[in-house]
């Protein structure tokens, strides 16, 4: 059975059980501060479990792209070493939101595995939660035990502890006891020797968990306590790749058709066969696994970067590059070449891979190039650290510097040291690493109290499209504490005019006014799950009164100008550069806007001007704002609305239209494009391979921009004694400057010629070598040029030139290649030895090397000593 068929049968089965099949949510999460990536199928349904949102269908099923590389569920370091862990994997799941519970979940799972997929019942084990006597004091799941007992012999039911059989999404959130289904795919002989039951949950590569049935009934609060959920739910998750392994009769996930095409390609590129060498096999698995995680993230709009989710993606890709570099001898980009195979095998189920194929390839290739450069540079630096070490141990602090400043991986450092017979001061490294982690954790740590709820079951309404003021009631609040911002309060109201940061647009600022006139400033507004959370520096004493909430109008209207201009810019780029342009990121602030988009080369100044003109023409055209707040997604797409990859859209959406620009958008906008006043691009550049960034300003900021430029022009004119025509004045200044430069160069050339003649006349023949050591009045580059000039005329030259510049001493030694070999001389060694007279050091190649030092007094001694090398 092919993997495509396995996936299809799962979904068909649950469709037959009246489940609605929904698409996978994006792998990169944007509006849940507790989670960076989707790490389980249930993430997108969290709010249904908590009772904060009501689902349209009570039974749902899908295959979800998951990534377990950060937070509570993190498998990154395991991946590659065994045959059944992955960073990115697919999770097949079925859900009941307050509908069926344990009985159906258990029966259907068994039916699908044994009757539809035909897995031998005797190879399956199930586990049941045994209860816990820790602070939670949970009882054993007797109901699940009895349900399983009716299906499988009791010796196949295993009691499981809290770690294995009580599933929690994170430190907070929905959770509950679970029953896992494990499969034993060992041979008959092996099964006869050791029972499968004893190997369940023992990290055996062939006795593995394939399906987890979670019976959601609690919510873990911030204070660590469990609270009953309003209803009981089912959340199941089956590892797709493991299921394929079982159904395809192979012993490793990497031997299924999900991975073999990738592995064959890696073999073809690197010339190394899978299955021949343990370390290479790990590396091949790492690469095959990681390319999936990275490609899917990029398709979801998450590019590698230096912060947040982007940084995690960069680390995954770098781990793959490093394994390739170390174990597969790859020193050229190669991972990007796997994207084609990947999009071929998975593009049908996940069309985003096909649509974004070119971009994914470009980005990965660029990252590979740059990290390979880092690796090479790191090797040189490590080399010098090794050479300067006095004993056979490398200082942990130095290794940390290499890792922290240059991104040189520590395991590669250890490996190289080991190969050369050196040891790493691992303790010192760990200490430095921990100190840095503590520093950054302290800076970003935020502790949160539980919510204090004042109004139960309140549904929040956003009125900020139509109004900037509203009378509001506090629904709930909590205190948060961060090192950076100090103590703050998060407030949720029954209705709000405040726009919460989202879709690139910043959150509103403003204030709350109590009936007695007290004012409380709202410094930011963010979206958390489905709620608008207002950040306030203090909490009103009387929380039950009605407040007047007012949005800062100036900031809002400037932001709106920039948001509408962003839509027009998007339209302009697609019209002028082509429809390959896709939005890859955007930031809409009150002071400026930033727009990232896919495009393969620099945008020429002419095109930029055309883009600017296009937008300004639409501003002058006074296009009215037209919106549709509730239109079916399909209809909006048919109207030509622009949607973004990696964005989660509901069945109905909001469209925002200005003339022919129409976008799916939740942001706020000007009422007429004339309100933007003017649009000005201030910069254009690259952010990653194939991704460009434009920064622009509108309205007041453009006025400020022109004022500033005007002031600058006056200052320039002033400096040049107020010429009539400043452009002409600058041009003649430039011409004069060029002439002076030319004359200066000629003078220097003449001087050098004279010096060269002088030096040659002073050469002394010793033992068949033309020798001279002398102090000259040149800088480092001048000395080098001079040495090579004279060197070009002799094949038996030994030249030591010294100079004093800005109180520092410089020594350069040139030795003709012929006598380097003949007399076993080495300029590098010589300058290092002579370097001690000038209290410095240096190095270079055997025929030319340079040392710098802080003691010019020692120059003469060094010059005197030079003769000894040849006589």
* Residue list for the binding site for Zn(2+): 563, 567, 665, 669
In the complex, minimum distance from the CB of residue 44 to ligand SER, in angstroms, rounded to a whole number: 12
In the complex, minimum distance from the CB of residue 213 to ligand SER, in angstroms, rounded to a whole number: 7
How many beta carbons lie within 10 A of that of residue 597, not counting itself? 23
Task: Identify which of residues 172 and 393 has a Cβ nearer to ligand SER in the complex.
Answer: 172
396 binds ligand SER per the rule CB under 6 A = no
Task: Identify which of residues 55 and 93 has a Cβ nearer to ligand SER in the complex.
Answer: 93
Binders in 68-107 for ligand SER, by CB under 6 A: 93
Which stretch, 199-207, 235-243, 602-610, 643-651, contacts ligand SER (CB under 6 A)? 235-243
DSSP string computed for 27-51? SB-SS-TT-SB--SGGGGGHHHHHT
Q: Are 366 and 393 in contact (CB under 8 A)?
A: no
Find the binder of ligand SER among 26, 41, 540, 828 (CB under 6 A): 41
In the complex, minimum distance from the CB of residue 211 to ligand SER, in angstroms, rounded to a whole number: 8
Rg of the Cα atoms in the chain? 34
Find the binder of ligand SER among 123, 165, 236, 561 (CB under 6 A): 236
- Distance, in Å, from the CA atom of 217 to the CA atom of 229, rounded to the nearest integer, reads 5
- Distance, in Å, from the CA atom of 503 to the CA atom of 566, rounded to the nearest integer, reads 11
In the complex, minimum distance from the CB of residue 184 to ligand SER, in angstroms, rounded to a whole number: 20
Task: Identify which of residues 236 and 297 has a Cβ nearer to ligand SER in the complex.
Answer: 236
Q: Which residue is nearest to ligand SER (CB)?
A: 237
The single-letter DSSP state of residue 307 is S
Annotated binding-site positions: 563, 567, 665, 669
Binding mask 690-709 for ligand SER (x = CB under 6 A): --------------------
Find the binder of ligand SER among 40, 320, 522, 701 (CB under 6 A): 40
In the complex, minimum distance from the CB of residue 298 to ligand SER, in angstroms, rounded to a whole number: 24
Which stretch, 40-48, 296-304, 368-376, 575-583, contacts ligand SER (CB under 6 A)? 40-48
Find the binder of ligand SER among 170, 174, 177, 237 (CB under 6 A): 237
Q: Give the distance, in angstroms, between the CA of residue 195 and the centroid of all CA atoms in the same chain.
A: 44
Task: Identify which of residues 237 and 856 has a Cβ nearer to ligand SER in the complex.
Answer: 237
In the complex, minimum distance from the CB of residue 93 to ligand SER, in angstroms, rounded to a whole number: 5
Which stretch, 35-43, 247-255, 282-290, 788-796, contacts ligand SER (CB under 6 A)? 35-43
- Can you say whether residue 458 is alpha, beta or left, with left for phi > 0 and alpha for psi between -120 and 50 degrees? beta
Q: Are 201 and 208 in contact (CB under 8 A)?
A: no
Which stretch, 234-242, 320-328, 376-384, 689-697, contacts ligand SER (CB under 6 A)? 234-242
- Distance, in Å, from the CA atom of 495 to the CA atom of 466, rounded to the nearest integer, reads 13
Task: Identify which of residues 214 and 536 has a Cβ nearer to ligand SER in the complex.
Answer: 214
Q: Which residue has the tokens 């290479």?
A: 280
Q: Are 194 and 214 in contact (CB under 8 A)?
A: no
How many beta carbons lie within 10 A of that of residue 321, not counting itself? 27
Find the binder of ligand SER among 83, 179, 212, 345 (CB under 6 A): 212
Task: Identify which of residues 40 and 662 has a Cβ nearer to ligand SER in the complex.
Answer: 40
42 binds ligand SER per the rule CB under 6 A = yes
Strand partners, 227: 219
DSSP string computed for 791-854? HTT-SSEEEEEEEEETTEEEEEEEE-HHHHHHTT--HHHHHHHHGGGGTEEEEE-SSEEEEEES
Angle at 229 between CA 225 and CA 231, to 5 degrees: 165
Task: Identify which of residues 84 and 167 has a Cβ nearer to ligand SER in the complex.
Answer: 167
Q: Are 566 and 572 in contact (CB under 8 A)?
A: no
Q: Are 265 and 274 in contact (CB under 8 A)?
A: no
214 binds ligand SER per the rule CB under 6 A = yes
In the complex, minimum distance from the CB of residue 224 to ligand SER, in angstroms, rounded to a whole number: 20
Task: Identify which of residues 104 and 401 has a Cβ nearer to ligand SER in the complex.
Answer: 104
Q: If binding means CB under 6 A, how many residues of this protein chain bind ligand SER?
A: 10
Handedness of CA 676, 679, 683, 686 (dihedral sign): positive
| First CA to last CA distance, the chain | 82
Chain contacts with ligand SER (rule: CB under 6 A): 40-42, 93, 167, 212, 214, 235-237
């Amino acid at each position: 059975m092919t993997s495509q068929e396995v996936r299809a049968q799962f979904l068909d089965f649950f469709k037959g059980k009246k489940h609605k099949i929904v698409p996978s949510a994006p792998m990169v999460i944007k509006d849940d501060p507790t989670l960076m990536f989707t790490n389980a199928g249930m993430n997108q349904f969290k709010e249904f479990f908590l009772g904060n949102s009501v689902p349209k269908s009570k039974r749902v099923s899908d295959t979800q792209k998951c990534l377990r590389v950060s937070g509570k569920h993190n498998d990154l370091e395991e991946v590659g070493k065994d045959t059944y862990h992955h960073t990115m994997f697919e999770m097949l799941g079925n859900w009941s939101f307050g509908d069926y519970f344990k009985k159906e979940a258990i029966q259907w799972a068994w039916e699908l595995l044994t009757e539809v997929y035909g897995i031998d019942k005797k190879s399956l084990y199930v586990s049941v939660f045994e209860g816990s006597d820790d602070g939670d004091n949970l009882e054993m799941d007797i109901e699940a035990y009895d349900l399983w007992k009716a299906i499988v012999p009791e010796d196949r039911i295993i009691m499981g502890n809290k770690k294995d059989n009580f599933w929690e999404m994170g430190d907070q959130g929905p959770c509950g006891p679970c029953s896992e289904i494990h499969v034993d795919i060992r041979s008959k002989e092996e099964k006869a020797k050791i029972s499968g039951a004893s190997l369940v949950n023992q990290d055996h590569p062939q006795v593995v968990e394939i399906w987890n049935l979670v019976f959601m009934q609690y919510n873990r609060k911030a204070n660590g306590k469990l609270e009953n959920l309003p209803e009981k739910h089912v959340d199941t998750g089956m590892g797709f790749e493991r299921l394929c392994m079982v159904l395809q009769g192979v012993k490793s996930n990497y031997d299924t058709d999900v991975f073999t095409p990738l592995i064959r390609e890696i073999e073809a590129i690197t010339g190394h066969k899978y299955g021949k060498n343990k370390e290479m096999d790990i590396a091949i698995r790492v690469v095959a696994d990681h390319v999936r995680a990275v490609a899917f993230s990029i398709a979801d709009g998450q590019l590698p970067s230096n912060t947040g989710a982007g940084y995690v993606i960069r680390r995954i890709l770098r781990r793959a590059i490093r394994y390739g570099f170390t174990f597969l001898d790859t020193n050229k980009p190669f991972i990007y070449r796997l994207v084609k195979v990947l999009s071929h095998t998975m593009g049908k189920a996940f069309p985003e891979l096909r649509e974004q194929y070119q971009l994914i390839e470009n980005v990965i290739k660029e990252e590979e190039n740059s990290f390979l450069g880092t690796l090479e540079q790191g090797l040189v630096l490590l080399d010098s650290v090794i050479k300067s070490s006095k004993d056979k141990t490398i200082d942990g602090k130095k290794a940390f510097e290499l890792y922290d400043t240059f991104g040189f991986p520590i395991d590669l450092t250890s490996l190289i040291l080991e190969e050369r017979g050196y040891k790493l001061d691992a303790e010192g490294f760990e200490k430095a690493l921990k100190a840095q982690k503590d520093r950054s954790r302290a800076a970003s740590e935020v502790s949160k109290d539980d919510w204090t709820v004042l109004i139960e079951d309140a549904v929040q309404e956003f009125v900020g499209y139509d109004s900037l003021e509203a009378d509001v009631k506090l629904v709930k609040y909590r205190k948060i504490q961060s090192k950076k911002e100090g103590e703050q309060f998060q407030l949720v109201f029954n209705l709000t005019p405040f726009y919460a940061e989202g879709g690139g647009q910043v959150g509103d600022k403003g204030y709350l006014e109590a009936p007695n006139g007290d004012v409380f400033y709202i410094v930011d507004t963010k979206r958390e799950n489905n709620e608008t959370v207002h950040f306030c520096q203090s909490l009103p004493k009387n929380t039950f009164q009605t407040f007047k909430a007012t949005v800062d109008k100036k900031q809002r209207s400037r932001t709106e100008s920039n948001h509408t201009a962003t839509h027009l810019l998007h339209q302009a780029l697609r019209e002028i550069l082509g429809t390959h342009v896709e939005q890859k990121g955007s930031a809409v602030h009150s002071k400026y806007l930033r727009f990232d988009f896919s495009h393969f080369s620099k945008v020429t100044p002419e095109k930029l001007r055309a883009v600017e003109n296009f937008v300004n023409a639409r501003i002058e055209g006074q296009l009215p704002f037209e919106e549709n707040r509730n239109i079916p997604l399909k209809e909006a797409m048919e109207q030509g609305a622009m949607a973004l990859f990696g964005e989660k859209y509901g069945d109905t959406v909001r469209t925002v239209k200005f003339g022919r620009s129409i976008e799916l958008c939740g942001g706020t906008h000007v009422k007429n494009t004339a309100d933007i006043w003017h649009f000005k691009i201030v910069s254009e550049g690259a952010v990653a391979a194939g991704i460009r960034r434009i920064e622009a300003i509108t309205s007041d900021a453009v006025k400020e921009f022109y004022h500033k430029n005007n002031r600058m022009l006056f200052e320039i004119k002033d400096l040049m004694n107020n010429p009539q025509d400043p452009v002409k004045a600058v041009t003649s200044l430039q011409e004069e400057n060029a002439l002076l430069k030319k004359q200066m160069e000629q003078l220097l050339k003449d001087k050098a010629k004279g010096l060269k003649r002088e030096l040659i006349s002073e050469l002394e023949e010793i033992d068949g070598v033309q020798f001279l050591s002398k102090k000259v009045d040149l800088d480092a580059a001048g000395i080098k040029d001079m040495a090579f000039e004279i060197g070009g005329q002799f094949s038996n030259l030994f030249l030591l030139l010294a100079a004093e510049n800005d109180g520092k001493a410089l020594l350069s030694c040139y030795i003709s290649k012929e006598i380097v070999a003949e007399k076993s001389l080495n300029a590098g060694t010589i300058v290092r030895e002579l370097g001690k007279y000038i209290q410095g050091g240096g190095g270079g190649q055997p025929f030319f090397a340079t040392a710098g030092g802080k003691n010019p007094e020692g120059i003469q001694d060094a010059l005197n000593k030079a003769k000894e090398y040849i006589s």
